[in-house]
């Protein structure tokens, strides 16, 4: 059983590492990565948390990138982040006018809910992203039109083993 003091320290530790980035999206690398320039003209590469979009060389990779571009490019966004990935990118939820762009990508069928990292999501986000993916699959939106879509993590693994 955790002590109340330990629980408070853990919460405080999380809050200290949480960061909000606000700025204009100046680049969209693919369906789950953007570049943002903040008010101080500092660039931030951001990997959208909780999702994995098709790679550019993969079926629907370009369409996924176009979808994210339509949603956020040249617009002001806020990113809630508390983590960096191994490539030095901030990992977070991208909000545009209060709407979760990560979730929209899943709803449109241009990204998978990235279950390998779902433990890093809030329980409500986990549920929303899972439901959005199931609904996109059922409606055959985006990449779900493909008879047998290949998940990006499987695509990357197959590429590494070649």
pLDDT exceeds cutoff 50 at 1: no
Lookup: tokens for 37: 């320039």
pLDDT exceeds cutoff 70 at 43: yes
Question: Which pLDDT value is given to residue 36?
Answer: 98
**Percent of the chain predicted with pLDDT > 70:** 90
**Percent of the chain predicted with pLDDT > 90:** 86
Q: Reply yes or no on whether 47 is catalytic.
A: yes
Residue range 1-18: mean pLDDT, rounded: 48
Cα distance between the two ends of the chain: 48
pLDDT exceeds cutoff 70 at 6: no
Question: Which pLDDT value is given to residue 10?
Answer: 43
Tell me the average pLDDT of the chain. 91
Q: Reply yes or no on whether 89 is catalytic.
A: yes
The CATH architecture to which 20-145 belongs is: Beta Barrel (2.40)
Residue range 134-141: mean pLDDT, rounded: 98
User: pLDDT for 76-113, tens place per residue?
Assistant: 999 999 999 999 999 999 999 999 999 999 999 999 99
Q: Where are the domains of the chain?
A: 20-145
Lookup: tokens for 52: 């994995």
Question: Which pLDDT value is given to residue 7?
Answer: 46
**How does residue 31 score in pLDDT terms, banded at 50, 70 and 90?**
very high
Question: Which pLDDT value is given to residue 17?
Answer: 60
- State the catalytic residue, choosing from 19, 41, 55, 120: 55
Residue among 71, 74, 69, 48 nearest 152 (CA): 48
Question: Which pLDDT value is given to residue 2?
Answer: 47
Give Cα 96 distance to the centre of its chain.
Answer: 13
Q: Is 162 exposed, middle or buried (0-12, 13-18, 19+ CB in 10 A)?
A: exposed
- State the catalytic residue, choosing from 24, 63, 70, 89: 89
Question: Which pLDDT value is given to residue 73?
Answer: 98
- State the catalytic residue, choosing from 47, 107, 108, 133: 47
Residue range 16-32: mean pLDDT, rounded: 91
Q: Reply yes or no on whether 41 is catalytic.
A: no
């Amino acid at each position: 059983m955790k002590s109340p003091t330990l629980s408070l320290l853990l919460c405080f530790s999380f809050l200290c590492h949480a960061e909000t980035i606000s700025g204009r999206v100046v680049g969209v690398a693919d369906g789950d990565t953007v570049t943002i320039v903040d008010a101080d003209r500092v660039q931030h590469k951001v990997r959208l948390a909780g999702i994995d979009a098709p790679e550019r060389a993969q079926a629907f990779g370009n369409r996924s990138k176009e979808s994210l571009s339509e949603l956020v490019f040249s617009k002001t966004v806020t990113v809630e982040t508390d983590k960096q990935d191994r490539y030095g990118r901030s990992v977070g939820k991208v909000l545009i006018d209060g709407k979760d762009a990560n979730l929209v990508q899943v709803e449109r069928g241009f990204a998978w809910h990235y279950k390998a990292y779902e433990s890093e999501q809030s329980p409500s986000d986990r549920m929303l992203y899972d439901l959005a993916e199931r609904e996109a699959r059922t409606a055959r939106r985006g990449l779900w039109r493909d008879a047998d879509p290949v998940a990006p993590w499987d695509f990357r693994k197959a590429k590494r083993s070649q």
